[in-house]
Chain A
Amino acid sequence: MVENCTKCGTQIRPNERACSNCGRDAGFPNVRAANAPEERAALEARFNTARTSSAVRGTTIELDYFVNEVGRHSRAVMNRSLGALNSWVEGPTPLFCSFHCQIEVLGRAPNESNYDQQRVAAEAAINPFCYKEISYAALTLKEAGMAIYGPYAVILKEVSIDDRSSVFEENPFEFNQKHHVVAGQNPPLGYRASWADRGTLAGAKLEHKLERGMQPSAFPAVLMEDRGADPECDYVEVHIFGPVSRVSIERVIGPKPARRIDVALWRRTVRALEKLGVDVEETP
């Protein structure tokens, strides 16, 4: 897809944030990719197929409700371990910068690069021009995320991410396996959307899970299965361009740890979160 600057007409490369000529902001690369005409057309075609099935099965009302609900009320959630949450909330400070390695050791030494390659290959295939800048979250209608990735669900403020986020059909590794996508090949079209169109993507993907008479209270489990601790749990992934600062955190839900040492760490983390105005809920 060729994009040109809306001001001076210079071609904008897929990985650029701003026009290299006049400097005008070109938007976020992942969002631009999701809004590309061919991508939108393919998503529309998928959605129409879903709508056809929905009409035949008599679930058009439920589909409309679902799309609307996801489009208006779904949020991005990141799951973190306690240590990572504390680092996020309390860092980067001079203390933490000094005493932690700034570069992940994994993937730096030549004999380890195979693992790093596999790890990033899935992401690079989906967002080839900006995967290093993407932060990953899951789309949810409930106060929970993918617990397999950490027991602490961090709900992000919509205002912090909506302009720079796109959504993707599922986790890229699963997607690539299914669609045989490898780095260097274009993934099939119609499986991503801007944040604003996330309801359409969810509808195209999940229509078959809707039943006639299904109530909106059942929609959260349609969007993200009720088995977040299972690696097979299906979800829609959120791709956020750029790092996610701690001021983007709206709410944190998670358990009180079992060990005394971690309880002390958790309490300090809670205080730091509350200082930031974050709503914290401790679960049993």
Chain B
Amino acid sequence: MRAIISGEAAVSAILGRTVQLRPLGAEPTGNLRLHDLARALGGCRDVCLVEVKDETEADAMAQQAWAADRALRFFLFLLDSEEEADELKEYAECLEELVEDKSTRLNLERRLLSNAIPTLIEINRINKALETCKNASDLFEFVTSLQPTITKITQAYDEVAEKSFGGAEDKCLCRESLTRDGTFRDLVIAIHEGRDINFLRLAVTAKHRTYAQALSELFSLLQPSNHKLPRPSLQEQEQDKEDDNFEQYDASREGDYEAFNRVRAQQRGIIERLKQHDFITAKRFADQLIAEQRRLSNKEHIAKSLCFLAQQAKQYEATELQLDWAAQANETDPSDPMTSGHLADAYIGAGNFVAAYAAIEQTERRGDALYAATSRARIRRMEGRFAEAYELYLAAACEHDANENVVHAWTGVAETLRDMGKFDDALVQYRALVERWPDDAGLRSGLASVLMEAGRYNDAIKEFNIALQYRGGIVAENGLATSYKLAGNFDRALEIYDSVLQYAPFSTATLCGRAEVFRANDDLTAALDAYKLAVERVSHNPRPFAGLGHVMEDLGWFEDARKVYSEGERRFPGDEFIAVGSARLLRREHKFQEALKAFDELAGRFPFNRWVKWARGDVLRSMGHPEAALQAMSSILEAWPDYSPAQTSKASLLIETGRYDEAIVLLDARDAAANDWSRAVLRAMICKARDQWDEALLRLTHSLSRARLPRERRFLKSAIAALDLQVGRPEAAAHLVEAKAGEITNVIYFHALAAARKHQKAKSLYERMVQSERDSSYMGIVIEIARRFRVIEGTPSHSPAWITHQEDKALLTEVG
């Protein structure tokens, strides 16, 4: 392992994915970054990077470096003529303590003999301070006796031209190297003792080959009678040794069919463990495999093996292993773009985009410009910058159209069109791609997804089935299930998810997708059980946790949801989904002050999370600040013009404030999509405001005919019911409306029952609503309706128009 040592700072730091700082005599601190380390070592000039076996060795090196640093300081402090005698004595004793250790003394000598003491010193004063410190005294005498020789050598070194070293910086570097490895010391002692320095010259120039010429010049200056020897036999011996090793290595590197089969078998074993989510055993098996391959195979094979394993780890959601194996592959073969490409992919999967960019740049430098370009586009897409991602994908696809892997770039073009809501263009793009690559299951799935988002569920189902014929795998299966869900065929969706779980029991997407089918069907109890199963099976993944909490919120079990999020924060500190869940819970509880504070904090922590920014705006609206909410939605749309929830909310706010034309422009900006129902409700509200009752009804009933999910149907029916109430058709409203506790739909239902004089039903519902915490925010309207239609005693405080206005406003808020 690699470590950074500084005696000046008295620390060692173990380098890994994060840094562990180990101050001498204090507890280590983990989870630092290199940036933190740079701050911690600010002002230190003895920082060096070393290879160590373990933390103990790093600590020992730090201790030595500290001792060397302090010994040097105290030696130099002794030379300070302004220091008091008492203090000199203290320095002498400290120095004595330090140089009792032979290695400290040796390091100190190396430093002291690399430079002459430039000041005049008061030897008597120093000797007095040292009189009880034998080792320190010997050292002082030793160093002072060598000053003339040291001066001679350092002057000779200064005389050698910088050009001979390769520049001023290299000259300094070389000097530091010669100091640290004791060359200067050995030279000083050899010359002082009058010994021949030829062998020293050979050893030094062999060790520092980069500076051989400059060092030869140095030695020539020190011993001008020296002449060049023929090519050193030492070098020849080293060369022969290398050749021997090469022959041996060559023989040992021969691959054979048996070895290949063994590797394959071991890889299969690792994949089996990954499938079972037994990541610890998978890692152990992989370590064994790679250790064996390192003995027998070349680096290309080892790297390929690691890349293959990384790919498998990705498939089975073992993010840490994917990163680990990809990093190993990249280190093993640092010239292959495939290894850095896998590393980039792993970093992207882990959300570490800064590190991903570095790996992408490596990939580009190594020759795979297409992969680099599509990866950059992918990151932009993940940040929600769809227009930018589109341009990047398109540029990559056009530039590299002849490349056999260009399909990914073209797929990115199609996907970003979908992201931007340009479904027609996305379909055109996908059809062209499918024509060009008819057997590509991924393209079929992509095409199906666009159809699904455009609300063409039957076509989507057909395409997903074609994708499956071309071995579309889990992606196509899950997509098919989602299509059935959105089409309202929940049973079929569940069947598919359950069959996927037979062979992929730990697939997070499948487990959560299954839970969401129950949720979409308003079967929250089953959704809860499904998420509990997901948490149990993929306990290393935060998504099921977040999903479980969300369902509890839907059930109104706020305290239970809070506990789940707390546990989630403990298990997955800093996770975005969990953090957002906690904030959302506050909003659901109508603790708007706290929710606003939480969303403000989250907006700072997760600057690319558009939902958080949207939620903040929504909270501002709930707190009675529509202008501030409008500003918030506009800000979101400035950065992410395609973000549909912000478009819908902004449109809804514009309607609330009477700015109908602007709202229409916004609502018509997107292609027809599966979430048309909210658009239909908002358009109907505008029609109502303009007394265009028939058109309002037409829009709503048309959308209702296409709506599949319970929530969509509920709101569309409630919107129609609200229309009926306003035109004096309460019976029709009461007959049509579907309701759910906590929603405005429940209020409209109550209103319809009361207005249609279904007194008993109305009374019964009223009593339930009064007791329910979930309907508490609407109690003002409910009481007013109850009084107006004499469900309860009391004089109404507001007009019927007020009730209508409140219902419309609430409908706008909930739909928006």
How many A-B pairs fall under 8 Å by CB?
Answer: 193
A172-B35 contact, Cβ under 8 Å, with A95-B119, A112-B49, A182-B357: yes
A122-B25 contact, Cβ under 8 Å, with A94-B118, A95-B76, A261-B94: no
B34-82 interface (Cβ within 8 A of A):
34-49, 66, 69-70, 72-74, 76-77, 79
Q: Which of B459-467, B598-606, B674-682, B750-758 forms part of the interface with chain A?
A: B598-606
At the interface, is chain B mostly helix, strand, loop or mixed? Answer: helix
Shortest CB-to-CB span from A76 to chain B, Å, is: 13
In the complex, the answer to whether A102 meets B45 with C-beta atoms within 8 Å is yes
- When C-beta atoms are compared, the residue in chain B nearest to A80 turns out to be B43
B321 part of interface (Cβ distance < 8 Å):
no
B11 part of interface (Cβ distance < 8 Å):
yes
Shortest CB-to-CB span from A166 to chain B, Å, is: 17
Bound CA span A84–B616, Å:
46
- Chain B residues near A104: list those with CB within 8 A: 45, 47
Q: Which of B34, B39, B635 has the most CB of A within 10 A?
A: B39
A119-B25 contact, Cβ under 8 Å, with A83-B10, A105-B48: no
- Chain B residues near A177: list those with CB within 8 A: 352-354
Bound CA span A84–B11, Å:
12
Shortest CB-to-CB span from B604 to chain A, Å, is: 7
In the complex, the answer to whether A99 meets B43 with C-beta atoms within 8 Å is no
Q: Which of B43, B119, B179 has the most CB of A within 10 A?
A: B43
In the complex, the answer to whether A268 meets B77 with C-beta atoms within 8 Å is yes
Contact pick for A98, options B43, B44, B115, B605, CB 8 Å: B115
- When C-beta atoms are compared, the residue in chain B nearest to A171 turns out to be B35
Q: Which of A82, A149, A180, A207 has the most CB of B within 10 A?
A: A180
Shortest CB-to-CB span from A36 to chain B, Å, is: 20
- When C-beta atoms are compared, the residue in chain B nearest to A58 turns out to be B593
Bound CA span A85–B42, Å:
10
B203 part of interface (Cβ distance < 8 Å):
no
- When C-beta atoms are compared, the residue in chain A nearest to B36 turns out to be A231
- Chain B residues near A98: list those with CB within 8 A: 115, 118
A94-B119 contact, Cβ under 8 Å, with A56-B628, A80-B43, A101-B45: yes
- When C-beta atoms are compared, the residue in chain B nearest to A138 turns out to be B39
Bound CA span A264–B94, Å:
8
Bound CA span A114–B358, Å:
11
Contact pick for B597, options A120, A208, A265, CB 8 Å: A208
In the complex, the answer to whether A105 meets B49 with C-beta atoms within 8 Å is yes
- Chain A residues near B176: list those with CB within 8 A: 101, 103, 105
Shortest CB-to-CB span from B231 to chain A, Å, is: 26
Shortest CB-to-CB span from B279 to chain A, Å, is: 25
A122-B48 contact, Cβ under 8 Å, with A56-B628, A83-B69, A103-B172: no
Contact pick for B172, options A84, A102, A230, A260, CB 8 Å: A102
In the complex, the answer to whether A83 meets B9 with C-beta atoms within 8 Å is yes
Bound CA span A261–B114, Å:
24
Query: Using an 8 Å CB-CB cutoff, how does the interface string of B598-630 with A read, 1 for contact, 0 for none?
Result: 101100111110000000100010010100100
**13 sample A-B contacts, Cβ–Cβ < 8 Å, listed by A number:** A49-B635, A56-B596, A58-B593, A83-B8, A86-B73, A95-B79, A99-B76, A115-B15, A121-B358, A136-B39, A150-B42, A231-B36, A260-B97
The 6 closest A-B pairs by CB, nearest first: A83-B8, A84-B43, A173-B35, A208-B600, A81-B9, A182-B357
Binding site for A on B (CB under 8 A): 4, 6-11, 15, 21, 25, 29, 31-49, 66, 69-70, 72-74, 76-77, 79, 87, 90-91, 94, 97-98, 111-112, 114-115, 118-119, 169, 172-173, 176, 179, 352-354, 357-358, 379, 383, 593, 596-598, 600-601, 604-608, 616, 620, 623, 625, 628, 631-632, 635
Given A88-B43, A148-B21, A182-B358, output 17 extra A-B contacts at Cβ < 8 Å: A52-B625, A52-B628, A82-B10, A83-B69, A83-B73, A95-B76, A101-B45, A105-B176, A115-B4, A123-B35, A148-B29, A148-B36, A149-B40, A150-B42, A208-B597, A229-B29, A261-B94
